[in-house]
Amino acid sequence: MLQDESSRPHHIPLQELKEITDNFSIERELGQGGFSVVYKGMLWNGETIAVKRIASSLIPGLQKQFEREVYHLMVLKHPNIVRCVGYCYETHNACLEYNGKYVFAETAERLLCLEYMPKGSLNKYLSDESSGLDWSTRYNIIEGVCYGLCHLHEQMDLPILHLDLKPSNILLDDGMLPKISDFGLSRLLDQKRTICTSSRDGTFGYMAPEFLNGGTITPKSDIFSLGVIILEVVTGHRDYPDVTRTTSDEFIELVRKFFLKF
């Protein structure tokens, strides 16, 4: 399933995913998100995949986010977008304690199987002190993210807005090729080219002002996030100006000093 890139993601039984992750052991953890944990899965032939396990809780919106991510990854095939090779959605009844009594309740296991990205996320390569990335590598990362975003916006029958573009959602392979991941907040865009919502899900600092303040979503929402990422990759400085950290004038001065090096 890893080598056949023309195949679509298919259902993988929960038991198989338990086996390849050593029953979701702590030693296999690759990272954690707000409502998920990613594990390293070792296949019988020695290949590796990433298994993303969504929290089995009743938090509103988690089910819809899982469905969106599966639906969109089913149709996305691009060198700069992480490839989904499978998914798992299984429910079972368990006897649980509730208000001092035991009741049977339905619990769900929701997992995604993704191509393994050995370099991890872009998040840990943004600081000059820790990354040491040369200009060519930085440029290639920026270019790859742009290609991936262009595919989402311009090369699909219905454009897909990512809406949570940030360094931790950009993964890197052995050659530092970037791939956009985590489509839990993504939305399809209809012919109106604008979505109005009361939701404010996203990551502060990467959310466009018109979305944060007015709930208006357009392709420009992702472009704003992309601009912040480009500034961070170019400068090696992570504090995009907001009300709690670096002011706009201070950030402009940081960018100016960085470009004076070249």
Give the pLDDT confidence of 205-258 residue by residue, as tens digits. Answer: 898 888 878 778 888 999 999 999 998 888 777 655 554 566 667 767 766 766
In the predicted model, is pLDDT for residue 163 greater than 60?
A: yes
Q: Which of 240, 262, 260 is nearest to 251 (CA)?
A: 240
Catalytic residue check, 190: no
Q: Which of 228, 71, 225, 235 is nearest to 149 (CA)?
A: 225
Give the pLDDT confidence of 81-115 residue by residue, as tens digits. Answer: 999 999 999 988 888 788 889 888 778 899 999 99
Query: How many whole angstroms separate alpha carbon 6 and alpha carbon 23?
Result: 29
Domain assignment present for 110? yes
Together in a domain, 105 and 137? no
Question: pLDDT value at position 134?
Answer: 84
Taking residue 177's Cβ as centre, other Cβ atoms within 10 Å add up to: 15
Give the pLDDT confidence of 119-136 residue by residue, as tens digits. Answer: 999 988 887 554 668 888
Together in a domain, 174 and 209? yes
Query: How many whole angstroms separate alpha carbon 163 and alpha carbon 180?
Result: 12
CATH number of the domain that residue 158 is part of: 1.10.510.10
Domain assignment present for 96? yes
Domain assignment present for 5? no
Instruction: Confirm if 95 and 102 have CB atoms less than 8 A apart.
Output: yes
Together in a domain, 210 and 102? no
Together in a domain, 134 and 246? yes
Q: Out of 48-62, 76-90, 159-173, which region has the weakest mean confidence (pLDDT)?
A: 48-62
Which residues face 94 on adjacent strands? 105
Distances in whole angstroms, Cα of residue 156 to Cα of each of 2, 12, 78: 23, 27, 11
Average pLDDT over residues 24-44: 91
Instruction: Confirm if 4 and 10 have CB atoms less than 8 A apart.
Output: no
Instruction: Confirm if 49 and 113 have CB atoms less than 8 A apart.
Output: yes
- Using the Cα atoms of residue 130, residue 136, residue 139 and residue 145 in order, give the sign of their dihedral: negative
**Domain boundary residue, one of 67, 97, 115:** 115
Which residues are annotated binding-site positions?
52
Residue for token pair 């060519």 = 136
Together in a domain, 92 and 152? no
Domain assignment present for 235? yes
The domain of 74 spans 10-115
Of these residues, 157, 164, 182, 239, which one is catalytic?
164
Domain assignment present for 1? no
**Residue 231 in tokens:** 């500034």
The pTM (predicted TM-score) of the whole model is: 0.84
Question: pLDDT value at position 3?
Answer: 54
Together in a domain, 60 and 164? no
Query: How many whole angstroms separate alpha carbon 41 and alpha carbon 169?
Result: 19
Domain assignment present for 39? yes
Together in a domain, 86 and 168? no
- Arithmetic mean of pLDDT over the chain: 84
